[in-house]
Structure 1
Amino acid sequence: MGRFDGVLLASDFDNTLIYTEDALLRGEPIPPLPERNRQALTYFMAEGGRFAISTGRALAAFEKYAPLVPMNAPGVICNGAALYDFAKQEYLVSALLDENARQRGQLVLDRFPEVAVEAYHIGNVIHAVHPNAITRHHEHLTKVAVTEAPSLLDVPLPLGKLLFEASHDVLEQIRDFLLAQGWGGDYELIFSGQNLLEMTAHGANKGGMVRRLAEYLGIGLDHVYCVGDEANDLPMLRLAAEGFAPANCIPAVRDSGATVVSHALDGALADVVEILEKRYR
């Protein structure tokens, strides 16, 4: 019996497990996984804990990094649109956008010509319409080239997520436009960065899918812990028995009541494991 038997720890990837903000904004190299995190997670799993990634990235944008991350549980991808077993290389659960999402997304592009959108196909292809500088920075970050399409209507189904890319003020206008059409009940509209607005199916967020992961593993929510830095992490931080955040988190995450640990550059996950070690003796 290990110290962490029956415990699930789920962590965001970008700017939580690894600090990638400089790579996204300035095209700098992506830093390696902090060694503190590697050692802590290896210890956590050796003591029976289950560690999972919970990322906004599509499978295509994360699978190159998956071998570099110590994990022993299926992961949440596409901001909660799917649960993927990296060991078996198969989807366990998916919550896909409805058939209206392409048309509605195209209305956004027609109304806001400066915005780009990435469409995450469940078949592991990332399509892009009106790619802009933010899209190109995102390609650098994910190491995956988008497949360009003239319109969203030309992008094949099924889709797990639409990712709108523009300045924050424009993205706020897009969110308000979608809500004004009465579509707020059909989708999750969550910022995953200043220049990134996620659109997934209603209920398809990190909190909902971490809950399903816990059920799949047979772990009660009173032993589920989550770590994240952005607004799209809030659903899982609220779900958790305790939510944690790196010191570089946005104010909304800090104000949510999450326990703030060290900066992502300094091994935030290692701090979390140290806290849990005192709780599970």
Structure 2
Amino acid sequence: MGKFDGVLLASDFDNTLIYTEDCLRKGLPMPSLSPENRAALDYFMAGGGRFSVATGRALAAFAPIAPLVPFNAPCVVCNGAAIYDWQQQEYLEFSLLEESVLSRAQAVLDAFPTVAVEAYHIENVIHAVHPNEITRNHEHLTRVATVECGSMAEVPMPLGKLLFEEQRPVLEQVAEFLRQRGWADDYELIFSGRTLLELTGRGANKGGMVLRLAERLGISREHVYCVGDESNDISMLTAAHQGFAPANCVPAVRDCGAVIVSHAREGALRDVVDILDKQY
């Protein structure tokens, strides 16, 4: 038996496992997984631990980089809307948005003409309505071109997630627009970056899906650990037995009780595995 048998470690990808902010904002190439993080994860998995990525990316956006990341458990994708098994190449679980989300999102676009929407189809396609500069930067980061639609009515169902893209002050107004109409209560509405507002089905978040993954793997909550840097990671950081965050995390993550480790550039996952190595 390995020392990490029965332990699940789930990590956010962008700006946690790999620091991708410069890729998004400056158009730089995506960096590789650091040797420190890779060695730590190889050690963790060799000791029987199960490592999963829990990302806001849709399957289409994570698929190109999945072969570059060492993991040995199904992954949480689409900000908690689904669990995908890479070995079986199939979804194990997913939570889909109802069709009414299309007209509601169109109402947002009508009220806020500069806002873009990326619509994440469950079959590995991302559609974009009103794409803007943020959309194009996001395409560069994810290495996936969107399929442009003229309106939300042209976006095919089923969808796992919508992503609103604009500067934070405008997105704050979008969130308030949804709340004032009573629509926000039907969804998980969370910021995953300064220019990104995510919308998934009610209860579809990283925390809930990580715990469902742990249940599938036969791992108890007291042996679940999560790492993340953004507000959309808080649900899994607080659901885990212990949450960890890189030093570059947003203030809300610091306030949720996560243990702060090195900056994502410097090997945050290495630090987490070092801590678990002492605990087990």
Q: Give SS of 2:188's match.
A: strand
Aligned residue for 2:246? 246
Q: CA deviation at 1:184?
A: 2.1
Residue 7 (1) aligns with residue 16 (2): no
Q: CA deviation at 1:115?
A: 0.2
Aligned residue for 2:87? 87
Aligned residue for 1:205? 205
**What is the correspondence of 1:57-136 to structure 2 with a 5 Å cutoff?**
57-136=57-136
Q: Could you report, residue by residue, the CA deviation over 1:236-266 in whole angstroms, capped at 9, with x for unpaired residues? A: 0000100000000001101111000001011
Q: Give SS of 2:45's match.
A: helix
Identity between Structure 1 and Structure 2 (%): 68
Q: Give SS of 1:185's match.
A: helix
Q: Could you report, residue by residue, the CA deviation over 1:54-106 in whole angstroms, capped at 9, with x for unpaired residues? A: 00000000011111111000000000000000111100000011111111001
Aligned residue for 1:181? 181
Q: Give SS of 1:14's match.
A: coil
Structure 1 outlier segments of 4+, above 4 Å:
none
Aligned residues: 280
Aligned residue for 1:55? 55
Report the TM-score when normalising by structure 2: 0.99
Structure 2 gaps, min length 5: none
Q: Could you report, residue by residue, the CA deviation over 1:169-217 in whole angstroms, capped at 9, with x for unpaired residues? A: 0000000110111112210000000000000000000001001101100
Q: Could you report, residue by residue, the CA deviation over 1:32-53 in whole angstroms, capped at 9, with x for unpaired residues? A: 1011010000010000000000
The letter of the residue matching 1:57 is: R
Structure 1 gaps, min length 5: none
- In 2, the alpha carbon distance for the partners of 1:244 and 1:258 equals 5
The letter of the residue matching 1:199 is: L
Q: Give SS of 1:177's match.
A: helix
Aligned residue for 1:263? 263
- In 1, the alpha carbon distance for the partners of 2:131 and 2:66 equals 26
Aligned residue for 1:237? 237
- In 1, the alpha carbon distance for the partners of 2:199 and 2:206 equals 13
The letter of the residue matching 1:191 is: F
The letter of the residue matching 1:60 is: A
Q: Give SS of 1:164's match.
A: strand
Structural RMSD (CA): 0.5
The letter of the residue matching 1:246 is: P
The letter of the residue matching 2:175 is: R
Q: Give SS of 2:204's match.
A: coil
